[in-house]
Amino acid sequence: MKITETISAKSMQKRSLAAIIIAVWTVVCLFTGLVSFSMLLPSHISHAEEVSSTESSEYKNDLPDADDAVNSYNSSYSYDYSTAAGYANDILNRNIASAGENDLQSLADNYFCENALSGNVQSYVQAIINNPGLSCDFTLYTQALSQALDDSVMSENGTFPTSLQKAVITLIICRSQINNETFSLDELVAPEVVNEVFFNTIGTKGIMTYIYGLNLLETCNDYSVEYSCDFTREDIILTLIDMQSADGGFSLNGDAGDVDVTAMALRALSGIYRDSSDYELSDAEKSDILSCIDNAIAFLIDAQLATGDYSSYGNACSESTAQVILAASDLSLDYSTFINNDNSLLDGLLIYRMPDGSFSHTASPLVTNDMASAQAFEALCAICRTYNITASSNMTSTDSEATINSESTTQGASSSDVYSSDISSTNSATSASFSTKTILYIVTASLLVLAIIIFTIVYIRKKNRKRYLMQIISSVIIAAVASIAIFSINISTREEYLSAPSSVISAKPGEGIISITYSINCGTVRAGDLADIYTAQTLYVTEGVTAFDVLTEICRLNDIQLDYESNSVYGTAYIKAIDSLYEFDHGDLSGWMYRVNGEFPSVGCGYYVLKEGDSVEWLYTTNIGEDLKND
């Protein structure tokens, strides 16, 4: 009897154990399924919230609340720029934390070197070198940038002219930090790089290549760099003055000046404005040039918004404000010249400051943007130089250690770290297919449950249970890996990708939706119906989207080929081809441009935030827009 009871008890224990195992693994399966299923749902966390939530506590605890900092500045430090050093270091602290580094030197030796050709990295490097309160050795970065320039110029795709010009300027500044003796660029980069930058970039892509070209020659002159070039500084200065608009400003195209381009042109012309004695020009020419520069300064003064910031083609943005600050610094202008409605340039810039110390492109919505942060950092460092502000490198905006000495001292943006994407291919798909993943999930989960049940039964019936227990564990691991693979890889058929719902374009008007007109035309090189790639249509789009956002959605939804270079970190975009019509297909000056309300914006399409009633046209030009002026 006791033996029977013992056997029965053991049998019950086995059944109980089996029930527990099945229950536990069922719960595991359900939990895995729920987690995987949640990955199908759209995320409503903003980029700023995402950055904030993942910020290293070591740095996050050092950062002040943006609202408190701005309110404190406006109420207690009217026109006191001593807080600029703290705001600049907040940006650095965030970059150090985001890159997973310990300090500024490790950031320079690792992240900066890995992204040596990035225009934003170069902005940081130049600003840091010129900031008396920051100390960093850029020897490794100089080597990395030299190699990156060699590789880029030797490659088939090359580097955009202004990016190449800015990179060489940065290289000269870095080399001079290491050794300020006179040197030739041939010591740093291959002869092909020197030849390319001095003979094949200046003036090749319109006004910006003249601006950066003049910056390059001025930098060579400032640092006693030996060079040979088809242009002289005087040649470029006279060319730029001839390109000035009637309103005193400068622009990429058209007759109306633009804040960004005007500020950058003034920075390039700042050398002759501060001291014209070193230029081989007649007195009459110098007088005309200085008068034109004064007109451009007046243009910027008149363009300042009541909030202290600036707009470009109707869109207020931090980069425009930062460029004006940099221009004022380079020209040795008193910042009190730029006051509107009792708001200073710094007041205007701080409108775009994020809680984590970074800066946004626009004030609404506030979203961290690394290009905006880089240019804000440059501007804040320029303020420090102008007022001879010194501060410790770990100072934050709430610290009060910064001091201003009684004697004042004085002293752009595409990125070449890009990837190419053709969104007509499945590799460029940005939306997942719910149905495909759901089916795969069901299959995976079913196989997992089935395997668990089978192995559990066998486990109870067999004597060698250790082996079968390992099989159960193995099956779970395999299923888990399969689930991760399924939901981390963007899986969709071509049909599913093209028909996926759009988060940019809406079917009807509503709250948070604006109405715009959009078209894509290449009538300069194609005739008849072939000219209209996308006939002008009224679209309802989500408020806050950019011209680039809408373009990619139109091309996706209408199966139009699109090839572009983009930087996922900085949010920039350059359109290479639409409907298989590529840049340079019809000459060295051919390519795609976009026009909004009849004007060509001076900012990239990835930065142009659309407004109610905007009319956007994508047009193919054969002469950098000259052939489109009469359209």
Domain that holds residue 449: 2-38+434-491
| Domain assignment of residue 399, yes or no | yes
Q: What is the CA 33 to chain-centroid distance, rounded?
A: 36
What DSSP line would sit under 154-215, residue for residue?
HSSS---HHHHHHHHHHHHHHHHHH--S-EEGGGTS-HHHHHHHHHSSTTTTSHHHHHHHHH
Predicted pLDDT at 245: 92
d(Cα 421, Cα 565) in Å, to the nearest integer?
A: 6
Do 357 and 276 reside in the same domain of the chain?
yes
Closest CA to 454 of 483, 476, 439, 485: 476
Cβ(186)–Cβ(228) below 8 Å: no
Do 464 and 530 reside in the same domain of the chain?
no
d(Cα 452, Cα 473) in Å, to the nearest integer?
A: 9
Residue 252 token pair: 């990429």
Three-state DSSP class for residue 404: strand
Closest CA to 318 of 31, 23, 571, 63: 571
Residue 566's CATH number: 2.170.130.30
Do 296 and 444 reside in the same domain of the chain?
no
H or E element: which one contains 545? Answer: none
Predicted pLDDT at 45: 30
Predicted pLDDT at 480: 66
Predicted pLDDT at 450: 66
Q: Is 105 exposed, middle or buried (0-12, 13-18, 19+ CB in 10 A)?
A: middle
- Identify the residue whose tokens are 């610290």: 399
Do 222 and 287 reside in the same domain of the chain?
yes
H or E element: which one contains 298? Answer: helix 283-303
Predicted pLDDT at 119: 87
Predicted pLDDT at 608: 86
Q: Which of 417, 443, 460 is the last residue of a domain?
A: 417
| Domain assignment of residue 428, yes or no | no
Q: Which of 448, 475, 491 is the last residue of a domain?
A: 491
| Domain assignment of residue 369, yes or no | yes
Closest CA to 131 of 414, 397, 412, 392: 392
H or E element: which one contains 585? Answer: none
The number of distinct structural domains making up the chain is: 3
| Domain assignment of residue 426, yes or no | no
Do 362 and 283 reside in the same domain of the chain?
yes
Q: Is 400 exposed, middle or buried (0-12, 13-18, 19+ CB in 10 A)?
A: exposed
Predicted pLDDT at 578: 95
Do 617 and 514 reside in the same domain of the chain?
yes
Do 446 and 541 reside in the same domain of the chain?
no
Task: Compute mean pLDDT per 10 residues along the chain, 631 residues long, and list them.
Answer: 51 55 56 47 32 31 33 40 86 91 93 91 93 86 92 70 88 85 80 86 86 93 86 94 93 81 95 93 94 96 94 82 95 91 93 92 83 93 83 46 35 29 32 48 64 63 59 66 60 65 86 94 89 93 92 92 70 82 78 90 82 95 78 66
| Domain assignment of residue 55, yes or no | no
| Domain assignment of residue 407, yes or no | yes
Do 253 and 111 reside in the same domain of the chain?
yes
- Identify the residue whose tokens are 């564990």: 473
Do 246 and 344 reside in the same domain of the chain?
yes
Closest CA to 117 of 82, 87, 88, 155: 155
| Domain assignment of residue 43, yes or no | no
d(Cα 466, Cα 64) in Å, to the nearest integer?
A: 56
CB count, 10 Å around CB of 307?
15
Q: Which residues of 593-631 are buried (b: 16+ CB within 10 A; e: fewer)?
A: bbbbeebbbbbbbbbbbbeeebebbbbbbbebbebbeee
| Domain assignment of residue 54, yes or no | no
Predicted pLDDT at 311: 87
Q: Which of 361, 387, 417 is the last residue of a domain?
A: 417
Three-state DSSP class for residue 250: strand
Residues forming beta bridges with residue 566, ordered by sequence position: 419, 573
Do 124 and 194 reside in the same domain of the chain?
yes
Do 218 and 303 reside in the same domain of the chain?
yes
Residue 306's CATH number: 1.50.10.10
Do 391 and 480 reside in the same domain of the chain?
no
